[in-house]
Structure 1
């Protein structure tokens, strides 16, 4: 585990940004020596679920299409990030499957050189119809959000009766070779936490890699309460009531602490984003659907690339903006500190 989130958050040192040419050779580095290798790209803020920990039942005011990056703009920006050393591009939302041009975008990213790994985080609805086409376009693997296998609990959490669609999407992803198929789950106290061991058993039977994620303050309603969050320690204790968990070992920049289940080969991961964050090893940077660069999921600021892009900025200008945002990255997100402020954008507008 990394140090707890209550440790002081350091702001970047007051240093001039490095020259563009030098920084191109060294990658997207911040003042704490971290180098961004993983780009999270939100394709839309729209979603076809209304998960209680993400948005209200009536949904949100969605971005208008002119606000979003076009396919050409998105591919140009992703290409610049790859030139700057990005090795993995993860497509997120909202729900990325709602972007009709998704296969074309995947194919365009797959043509970049050096070719980045291409992953997608999705709720799985509609994946049964598109998994094979996405694999053929160049998608390497998927993470599917599934918090429970209990139908009524799923309906309560997501406000939609779509469990069968998600299960079908998972099976189609495995069939199409989008492996390892990972399942992301958020456990909430007195909602679905009693079923975490059942979910793990279900995933192990099907060869899916389950990862539990602590609930984070990223809901549009700003109603997150730490007391409602099931901590990583609690999760591990609940799982160990049925399974024997053995730590896998060093995880590098990966967010999940992984455990062999009953000696393996199956594993489970626990991401302690709040109680034991991995900020010190973070290698991520985010691009929102409307063209903003964010150096942290919880950043209070962001830099606009869409405006300069549409005004004719060249690649060197865009690189300078990207570099400046990364250079300002703080040492940690600061959840739990007295001055922590939840970002104005919810998760659906930032991208996972």
Structure 2
């Protein structure tokens, strides 16, 4: 029997939710994430192989107490072998919660195979249901593909389907209520996320960000919102019932209402680096250990050590805060 050592930090928080980035590549060019010309992608030889990804997840599950795995990117649907990775992860433990965060492109083709492989649900990023606004944000005319992908995910049983939206000032911040009405009608769970300082261009400013408070004010002009009764726990979203329920809307206020004290997440980048916080400026290399023949027990020990150094909070409000060198697309959501 393999002994389990929890991924606990010096503040007593225990990580049980593993976010696994499968690629830094993406087929959209969202303005708040990367420049129009894209980025210099990781060389193939630096990206973890399917076997390496599954081995690290297996170490997390069997030795470190991981109970939830979310596959992210970049855009994870562009990763060849995705369904196989999901199936092999499911085989590690039937009780794992497996989810995927995606921009929705490719779900028409992959929703069925992913469900068959054992994926439980998807989170789809969608900032507008207006074609012209979608094009302005993503620099691609692909809204119809995302909408069809959402329907394919619903048909495949990958629910509850959550939709993540970022409001940008003077771009789509007037569309919050429209998005919510659309989501409620279709049974999707909408989550508004404050824009975070994780863009490749380092152009984020606190002043230009649409805050959670502003988002709620916009929604309350057309809906009656009330705090949801269910406890939030370690979930990042504050939930509100919409017009008495049962529909809810969530607000993830990572900047203005940080929830670092309840964080239970740890991240693994596509090139095998452990990040104990989305905003960490330090990483711990597990890829080198994998490729040099280090046994699972030693890799687990290094992972535990990496987690122990997690800071109390992300420090965005601290005058000394520095944005991570890697953008969100290279870190994983």
Same fold (TM over 0.5): yes
Measure, in 2, the Cα distance between the counterparts of 1:89 and 1:115.
Answer: 11
1:94 to 65, 74, 79: 74
Equivalent pair of 2:6/2:304 in contact (CA under 8 Å): no
Residue 177 of structure 1 pairs with residue 154 of structure 2: no
Please state whether the residue corresponding to 1:204 is helix, strand or coil. helix
Measure, in 1, the Cα distance between the counterparts of 2:96 and 2:197.
Answer: 30
Report the equivalent of 1:56: 35
TM score, norm. by length of structure 2:
0.98
Equivalent pair of 1:82/1:114 in contact (CA under 8 Å): no
Once the two structures are TM-superposed, the CA of residue 26 in structure 1 deviates from its matched residue by: 4.8
Aligned residue runs from structure 1 range 12-31, under 5 A = 25-31=4-10
Report the equivalent of 2:240: 259
Report the equivalent of 2:253: 272
Residue 335 of structure 1 pairs with residue 321 of structure 2: no
Structure 1 residue runs of 5 or longer lacking an equivalent are: 1-20
In the TM superposition, what whole-angstrom CA distance separates every residue of 1:258-295 from its partner, at most 9, and x where no partner exists? 01100011110000000011100000000000000000
Residue 286 of structure 1 pairs with residue 267 of structure 2: yes
Please state whether the residue corresponding to 1:280 is helix, strand or coil. helix
Aligned residue runs from structure 1 range 56-205, under 5 A = 56-83=35-62, 84-113=64-93, 115-205=95-185
Measure, in 2, the Cα distance between the counterparts of 1:295 and 1:156.
Answer: 33
Measure, in 2, the Cα distance between the counterparts of 1:254 and 1:141.
Answer: 16
Once the two structures are TM-superposed, the CA of residue 190 in structure 1 deviates from its matched residue by: 0.7
Once the two structures are TM-superposed, the CA of residue 321 in structure 1 deviates from its matched residue by: 1.1
CA RMSD of aligned residues (A): 0.9
Residue 301 of structure 1 pairs with residue 282 of structure 2: yes
Measure, in 2, the Cα distance between the counterparts of 1:147 and 1:95.
Answer: 16
Report the equivalent of 1:325: 306
Report the equivalent of 1:222: 202
1:240 to 204, 207, 220: 220
Query: Which consecutive aligned stretches of 4+ in structure 1 deviate over 4 angstroms post-superposition?
Result: none
Once the two structures are TM-superposed, the CA of residue 25 in structure 1 deviates from its matched residue by: 4.0
Measure, in 2, the Cα distance between the counterparts of 1:25 and 1:195.
Answer: 47
In the TM superposition, what whole-angstrom CA distance separates every residue of 1:231-255 from its partner, at most 9, and x where no partner exists? 0111001000000001013200000
Please state whether the residue corresponding to 2:207 is helix, strand or coil. helix
Equivalent pair of 1:289/1:349 in contact (CA under 8 Å): yes
Greater CA drift, 101-110 or 316-325? 316-325
Structure with higher RCO (Cα < 8 A, 6+ apart)? 1
Report the equivalent of 1:231: 211
Measure, in 1, the Cα distance between the counterparts of 2:96 and 2:303.
Answer: 18
Measure, in 1, the Cα distance between the counterparts of 2:269 and 2:55.
Answer: 14
Measure, in 1, the Cα distance between the counterparts of 2:127 and 2:65.
Answer: 34
Structure 2 residue runs of 5 or longer lacking an equivalent are: none
Aligned residues: 330
Change (3 A) 1:327 1:57: same
Once the two structures are TM-superposed, the CA of residue 114 in structure 1 deviates from its matched residue by: 5.9
TM score, norm. by length of structure 1:
0.93
Measure, in 2, the Cα distance between the counterparts of 1:278 and 1:116.
Answer: 24
In the TM superposition, what whole-angstrom CA distance separates every residue of 1:11-49 from its partner, at most 9, and x where no partner exists? xxxxxxxxxx9xx54511111010001000000000000
Measure, in 1, the Cα distance between the counterparts of 2:61 and 2:95.
Answer: 8
Please state whether the residue corresponding to 2:178 is helix, strand or coil. helix
